[in-house]
């Protein structure tokens, strides 16, 4: 089949016939975040989609309702069916949620040969198979990265990167609300009720909290993940389910004593050609990567024959993360529309990057100094930092006599300011030597 490539260079060179037009169904938290990215980042997206990408219509129930995004006039409509049958629209993005009318609209869009991007986990976890069969028959994309773990790219790796591997087991922390509650119970020894109230206060809970607390939300996501991992359709009803309401602080303490953390874990595995899928609280050794997933974060831990253990971690919900995943899918569908060859669409960095001078990096430092133990030492050390405009975040003095030690951590300043400080410290009478110094990363400050 050599010299018979469908994606020949001629196709690559051909300019796109016009903009790729997007119809958005729904404009809540996620929808308005998607609209904002499409409206504000047009040129960056064009680069990656192989054609201009244009938000063409936004269908909502009540066009008069105020939105989180300023939409150009004429875009908003309450006629969702008009959007999915509009012959000028190439890609339909469904972010209404729920079963109907979302299901009907997606099927119509597919029949009208539009690519579909959706974040709708309930729908996929119950009717994904039918939707995919319809998309196959119509020869269009049905993309759903945002449906499983918000902004975490896990659907695409499972579909593509692991296409040559076999998944043994998937374990996920797929619900941010319950993980937040369990983290509070673990780290603050709060009761379930108090941790739940805190989740409520921070807006992490739904009006009906049982979808989260009883594991329904995680079960729907696990059904989608299992289907991808094992290439056969798994629906929510196939997933055994137990929530976190019975987990007590005593359990959490006992887990700690034995070196474990308690998490709400969604597990899918294939044994002898049969898939087992379940969501339940479980103890995980503290050394397990999932045990370190804190607060409202999600993660998917995958064990495969060849790649071994993998984990994908990030924000499983929220407008920004979900929109990021949706726009990634829109870019993929847009390349299908524009006929852009994948290669060049990615290879857009023929330019050399401008490299920032090493001294300009913003850093924090941990520094250990051997100092003389006499009055005024701390004052002159502190003055030395101040001379280079480096401010000190914490300091600790230990030992006495000739062998006193100062341990400092600085606030953010440039690498150059720090190096200047170090060189001044080395020449300071009261400093015997700089015992150790190391950059500090991952604090909120930098």
Residues marked active site are found at 221
- Residue with Cβ nearer a second copy (63 or 280): 280
- Identify the residue among 353, 400, 401, 427 touching a second copy (CB under 8 A): 353
> Is residue 207 part of the contact set for a second copy (CB under 8 A)?
no
Smallest gap, in angstroms, from Cβ of residue 164 to a second copy?
3
Smallest gap, in angstroms, from Cβ of residue 386 to a second copy?
22
Q: What are the angstrom distances between the C-alpha of 369 and each of 129, 238, 364, 411, 437?
A: 65, 61, 16, 17, 9
Which residues neighbour 375 within 8 Å (Cβ) at sequence distance 6 or greater?
none
Smallest gap, in angstroms, from Cβ of residue 17 to a second copy?
4
Nearest Cα to Cα of residue 225 among 266, 257, 263, 261: 266
> Is residue 156 part of the contact set for a second copy (CB under 8 A)?
yes
- Residue with Cβ nearer a second copy (26 or 157): 157
- Identify the residue among 62, 66, 203, 258 touching a second copy (CB under 8 A): 258
> Is residue 399 part of the contact set for a second copy (CB under 8 A)?
no
- Residue with Cβ nearer a second copy (1 or 207): 1
> Is residue 208 part of the contact set for a second copy (CB under 8 A)?
no
> Is residue 238 part of the contact set for a second copy (CB under 8 A)?
yes
> Is residue 260 part of the contact set for a second copy (CB under 8 A)?
yes
Return d(Cα 263, Cα 172) in angstroms, integer.
10
Total residues contacting a second copy by CB under 8 A comes to 160
What character string, x for contact with a second copy (CB under 8 A) and - otherwise, covers 311-330? Answer: xxxxx--x-xx-xxxxxx-x
> Is residue 230 part of the contact set for a second copy (CB under 8 A)?
yes
> Is residue 337 part of the contact set for a second copy (CB under 8 A)?
yes
Smallest gap, in angstroms, from Cβ of residue 74 to a second copy?
19
- Identify the residue among 62, 64, 100, 348 touching a second copy (CB under 8 A): 348
Nearest Cα to Cα of residue 121 among 212, 200, 15, 245: 212
| Residues in 69-98 at the binding interface with a second copy, rule: CB under 8 A | 87-90
DSSP character string of 284-322: EETTSGGGG--TTEEEEEEEETTTEEEEEEEE-SSHHHH
**Residue 93 φ then ψ, to 5°:** -110, 115
Nearest Cα to Cα of residue 115 among 135, 131, 95, 88: 135
- Identify the residue among 74, 203, 273, 375 touching a second copy (CB under 8 A): 273
What character string, x for contact with a second copy (CB under 8 A) and - otherwise, covers 36-55? Answer: -x---x--xx--xx-x----
Smallest gap, in angstroms, from Cβ of residue 292 to a second copy?
4
Smallest gap, in angstroms, from Cβ of residue 375 to a second copy?
25
- Residue with Cβ nearer a second copy (140 or 195): 140
What secondary structure letter does DSSP report for 423? H
Q: What are the angstrom distances between the C-alpha of 376 and each of 187, 382, 412?
A: 40, 10, 25
First to last CA, the chain: 53
Q: What are the angstrom distances between the C-alpha of 219 and each of 26, 132, 240, 251?
A: 24, 20, 8, 23
What character string, x for contact with a second copy (CB under 8 A) and - otherwise, covers 275-314? Answer: xxxx-xxxxxx-xxxxxxxx--x-x----xxxxxxxxxxx
**CA-angle at 98, arms to 97 and 104, nearest 5°:** 95
Nearest Cα to Cα of residue 339 among 50, 47, 87, 114: 50
Smallest gap, in angstroms, from Cβ of residue 142 to a second copy?
7
What character string, x for contact with a second copy (CB under 8 A) and - otherwise, covers 16-35? Answer: xxxxxx-----------x--
Return the structure tokens found at 416. 């150059």
| Residues in 87-146 at the binding interface with a second copy, rule: CB under 8 A | 87-90, 113, 129, 132-133, 135-142, 145
Name the one range near a second copy by CB under 8 A: 23-31, 174-182, 206-214, 273-281: 273-281
> Is residue 176 part of the contact set for a second copy (CB under 8 A)?
no
Return d(Cα 371, Cα 429) in angstroms, integer.
9
Return d(Cα 299, Cα 168) in angstroms, integer.
17
Return the structure tokens found at 125. 């976890």
Q: What are the angstrom distances between the C-alpha of 366 and each of 36, 114, 393, 407, 440?
A: 41, 56, 10, 7, 6
- Residue with Cβ nearer a second copy (2 or 73): 2
Smallest gap, in angstroms, from Cβ of residue 190 to a second copy?
17
> Is residue 209 part of the contact set for a second copy (CB under 8 A)?
no
> Is residue 436 part of the contact set for a second copy (CB under 8 A)?
yes
Residue 370 near residue 399, CB atoms below 8 Å:
no
> Is residue 197 part of the contact set for a second copy (CB under 8 A)?
no
């Amino acid at each position: 089949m050599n010299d018979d490539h469908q994606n020949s260079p001629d196709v690559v060179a051909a300019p796109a016939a016009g903009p790729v037009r997007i119809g958005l169904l729904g404009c809540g938290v996620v929808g308005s975040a998607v609209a904002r990215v499409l409206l504000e980042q047009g040129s960056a997206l064009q680069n990656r989609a192989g054609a201009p990408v244009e938000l063409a219509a936004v269908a909502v129930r009540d066009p008069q309702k105020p939105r989180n995004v300023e939409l150009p006039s004429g875009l908003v409509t309450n006629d969702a069916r008009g959007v999915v049958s509009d012959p000028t629209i190439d890609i339909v993005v469904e972010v209404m949620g729920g079963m109907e009318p979302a299901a009907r609209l997606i099927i119509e869009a597919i029949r009208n040969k539009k690519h579909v991007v959706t974040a709708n986990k309930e729908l996929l976890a119950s009717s994904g198979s039918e939707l995919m069969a319809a998309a196959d028959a119509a020869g269009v994309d049905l993309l759903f990265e945002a449906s499983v773990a918000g902004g975490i790219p896990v659907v695409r790796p499972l579909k593509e990167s692991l296409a040559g591997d076999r998944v043994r087991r998937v374990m996920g922390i797929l619900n941010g609300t319950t993980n937040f509650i369990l983290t509070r119970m673990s780290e603050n020894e709060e009761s379930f009720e108090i941790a739940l109230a805190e989740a409520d206060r921070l807006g992490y809970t739904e009006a009906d909290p049982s979808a989260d607390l009883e594991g329904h939300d995680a079960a729907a996501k696990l059904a989608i993940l299992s289907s991808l991992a094992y290439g056969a359709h798994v629906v929510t009803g196939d997933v055994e389910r137990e929530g976190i309401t019975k987990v007590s602080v005593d359990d959490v303490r006992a887990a700690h004593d034995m070196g474990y953390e308690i998490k709400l874990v969604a597990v899918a595995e294939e044994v002898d050609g049969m898939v087992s899928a379940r969501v339940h609280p479980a103890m995980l050794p503290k050394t397990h990567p999932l045990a370190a997933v804190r607060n409202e974060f999600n993660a998917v831990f995958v064990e495969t024959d060849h790649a071994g253990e993998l984990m994908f971690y990030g924000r499983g919900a929220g407008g920004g993360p979900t929109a990021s995943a949706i726009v990634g899918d829109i870019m993929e569908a847009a390349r299908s529309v524009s006929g852009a060859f994948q290669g060049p669409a990615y290879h857009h960095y023929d330019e050399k990057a401008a490299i920032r001078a090493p001294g300009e990096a913003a850093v924090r430092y941990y520094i250990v100094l051997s100092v003389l133990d006499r009055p005024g030492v701390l004052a002159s050390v502190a003055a030395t930092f101040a001379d280079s405009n480096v401010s000190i975040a914490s300091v600790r003095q230990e030992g006495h006599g000739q062998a006193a030690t100062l341990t400092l951590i600085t606030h953010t300043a440039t690498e150059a300011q720090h190096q200047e400080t170090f060189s001044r410290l080395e020449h300071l009478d009261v400093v015997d030597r700089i015992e150790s110094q190391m950059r500090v990363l991952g604090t909120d400050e930098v």
